Amino acid sequence: MSKPKPQPETAVPTSETAKRRALILAVGGNPNSGKTTLFNRLTGLRQKVANYAGATVEKKTGIYRTASTDVQLIDLPGTYGLTPKSEEERIAAEIILGLNKEISRPHGVLCVVDSTCLEKSLYLVLQVIETGIPAAVLLNMSDELELRGAAIDSGELSRILGVPVLMISATKGTNLKELESLIDSWPHHATAGGGAVNSPLPSDCPSTEMRTGIHGVCRVSDCPSSEFCQLLKIPSLPKVAERRRNARDIASAVLKKPLEPHPWSDKVDAVVMHKFWGSLLFAAIVMLVFQAIFSWAQPFMNLIDSAFSAMAGFVRYALPAGFWRSFLSDGIVAGVGSVVVFLPQILVVFFFISVLENFGYLPRAAAAMDRILHSLGLHGKSFLPLISSYACAIPGIMATRTIENRRDRLATIFVAPFMTCSARLPVYALLISAFVPDIPVFGRFFRLRALTLLGLYAAGFVAAMVTALAMKSSWLKSNGTPFFLEMPPYRIPDFRSIFLHMWDRSKVFLQQAGTVILAVNIILWFLVSYPKKPGPGVNGIDAVRHSYAGRIGTFIEPAIKPLGFDWKIGVGLLSAQAAREVIISTLTTIYSVEEQGEKREGLQKALQKDMTPLTAVSLMFFFAFALQCSSTLAVAHRETGGWKIPALMFLYMNCFAYAASFAVYHLGLLFGHL
């Protein structure tokens, strides 16, 4: 039997044989319930990652094939209910209720429940069932439930809810065969792909909160003025107080053995959340990450570098000197390869963040940091957005939605780009490898390169905290709000999901390298190569300086010369506005064209000849503070509802970067460092 052809993610997968059928199922649940782990296990590499149209929320869809069914799975954003208070919750509710224009209404919902937190999870389950859509409850983490001496009567829970209930472990793959059988027998519900189950919001409805809900529709269950509303397709639903009481009563009825205390959670918390030991542990973890960035990733970086060098060498060997050889070897292969080589270091950062998040450490680190952040005017909930910004400022800014106070949220959005995102890492790694010796510090445990990288990360964090303190002491001053954050239980990280997440990040990075960076390199190669300088015996350096790029760089050089930068760095800084790491491919292209037929020495050696260590330090400090990401500005505009905050961010951070780089360079000259 041949396999079905891949279908668009918004369409139901079609079968090539009459024996197979197609289903659309949503995978929903609370945050930290393990729904994404289940989604990853079922779909493997047959999944797509994108963004919902008009939203910054990530969309994941995938294909799962059972014995007789082709299933399109939709990984819903984590939500505690169908009453939307955030963009993630709005999108989850839209899909379940059939209001999303991108995806047809699912044939049903797989409600993934953390069986160790049954009462909290049942609130969402009850809401899903009340919509009338077919559903099944998957009691996840059954292994942990058994380990803690508890038991749930799944049969009784199925009888009470009126839907199938299955005990599973997404991490270990327990009972997934039973899940496959359940899906094969799933009713092909007639409402799939149909319309919404809600009525329009009357103009005289006093519930202003509901007006900001799902595209201006209202649900009787969540509206205090139900007499103004009429549902079209489902009966009257119980109000929120009543539903929570039902969830509590159901959990009490089916939980046959109570949960025993976690065997080692309290002991670990005593260290992790301790004032002194917790801070020391956090510093040690951060140092381990920085050491791993250079040591773990280096062998893979060497392989990638060798591959692209071989490709460039083959092009130069196969083609005669001229337009196409220079375009392909200098503009395409060398330029793109100079950025792709840093992919292993970026993945190391994502690996550690994912492991710490899976383990349950990050929320506890937030609680431990609340005291420090509070003294600077920020909220404890600012910690998680700031930590997320170390991977990328965009999800970090989006994560500020959990901060209730608007002024606290704006302050966190403003300082989030100061966190050293993964796009800065290639620039740091290049300059540190070229100008900082790889010598041990503090015995054999740490090396100078890792400590230098730590210093740059610390510089960004200190700048963020100083800025936050100034803002919260003036125009964003607000009364302190209590810090409440749910602490998930400690769990062994699911490395299968972690590596799938790293695979997704790799695809996103390579897609950028193949689109944005490639496009910039093509434009830049043209600007570096033309116009040709007339006359015999023109060397590469004179030819590049005569080019359009050379003229642009020479024009802006007086403005950046006080920082120790020449015209080449100036061109790189301009191109970095598209993406920070583009400066590397920019410099690679410039030096490749300069060298022309000469022996290629690589970018590091070219920089060592053309740049002093003090200039390298000045450039690193500039990148530590500058805001060079148009996507970040676009998301900040979207999250703040205007251009005022993004414009202030751009102006402030770039002025801060210029001043810091100026101070570093001239203090270095003053003390005689070259």
| pLDDT single digits (tens) 141-152 | 888 888 788 889
pLDDT digits 0-9 by tens, 428-480: 999 999 999 888 877 666 788 888 988 998 999 899 989 988 887 877 776 65
Which carries the bigger pLDDT value, residue 578 or residue 317? 317
If pLDDT is split at 50, 70 and 90, which confidence band does 33 have?
A: confident
The per-residue pLDDT for 150 is: 85
Q: Helices H, strands E: what count in the chain?
A: 30, 13
Residue 333 and residue 365: Cα distance in Å, rounded?
42
Beta-carbon contacts of 332 under 8 Å, excluding residues fewer than 6 positions away, are: 518, 521, 522, 525
pLDDT at 650: 93
Measured between alpha carbons, how far is 512 from 603 in angstroms, rounded to an integer? 21
**Joined tokens for residue 399:** 């994560």
φ, ψ dihedrals at 272, nearest 5°: -60, -40
pLDDT at 256: 83
Q: What is the pLDDT of residue 245?
A: 85
Helix (H, G, I), strand (E, B) or coil at 345: helix
For residue 597, is pLDDT > 60? no
CA distance 26 to 12: 12
Res 190 pLDDT > 60: no
Whole-Å CA distances, 274 to 270, 282, 380, 465? 6, 11, 16, 22
**What is the identity of the amino acid at 233?**
K
Write phi, then psi, for 150 (nearest 5 degrees): -105, 165
Domains and CATH numbers, the chain: 21-197+239-257 (3.40.50.300), 199-228 (no CATH), 496-670 (no CATH)
Across residues 277-287, what is the average pLDDT?
81
Q: What's the gap between Cα 550 and its chain centre?
A: 37
Nearest to 59 by CA among 92, 33, 86: 92
Contact 398, 572 (CB under 8 A): no
Q: Determine the pLDDT at residue 135.
A: 94
Q: Which amino acid is at 44?
A: G
Cβ distance 149 to 123 under 8 Å?
no
- Rounded to whole angstroms, the maximal C-alpha distance in the chain is 92
Cα distance between residue 493 and residue 500, in whole Å? 13
Q: Which two tokens stand for residue 541?
A: 């350096």
In this predicted structure, the answer to whether residue 293 has a pLDDT above a threshold of 90 is no
Q: What does the pLDDT read at residue 237?
A: 42
Residues facing 227 on adjacent strands: none
Q: What are residue 199's DSSP bridge partners?
A: 218
Distance CA 261, CA 475 (A): 46
- Selection from 173, 391, 413 nearest residue 293 by Cα: 391
pTM of the model: 0.66
pLDDT value for 589: 82
Amino acid at residue number 289:
V
pLDDT (tens digit, 9 = 90+) per residue, 299-320? 888 898 888 888 888 888 888 8
For the stretch 481-508, pLDDT in tens is 555 566 777 878 888 878 887 887 788 7
Q: What angle, 0 to 180 degrees and rounded to 10, lies between the N-to-C axes of helices 361-375 and 343-359? A: 90
Report the pLDDT value the prediction gives residue 90, as an integer from 0 to 100.
77
Mean pLDDT throughout 558-567? 93
| CA dihedral sign of residues 348, 349, 352, 354 | negative
Torsion of CA 489, 411, 650, 362, to 10 degrees: -10
Quote the pLDDT of residue 335: 76
Check residue 173 and give left, alpha or beta (phi > 0: left; psi -120 to 50: alpha). left
- pLDDT in the model for residue 657: 95
Amino acid at 52: Y
Q: Quick one: 45 exposed, middle or buried, by C-beta within 10 A (0-12, 13-18, 19+)?
A: exposed
Beta bridge partners of 27: 75, 110
d(CA 514, CA 422): 18
Q: Among 86-90, 168-172, 311-315, which stretch is predicted with the lowest mean pLDDT?
A: 86-90
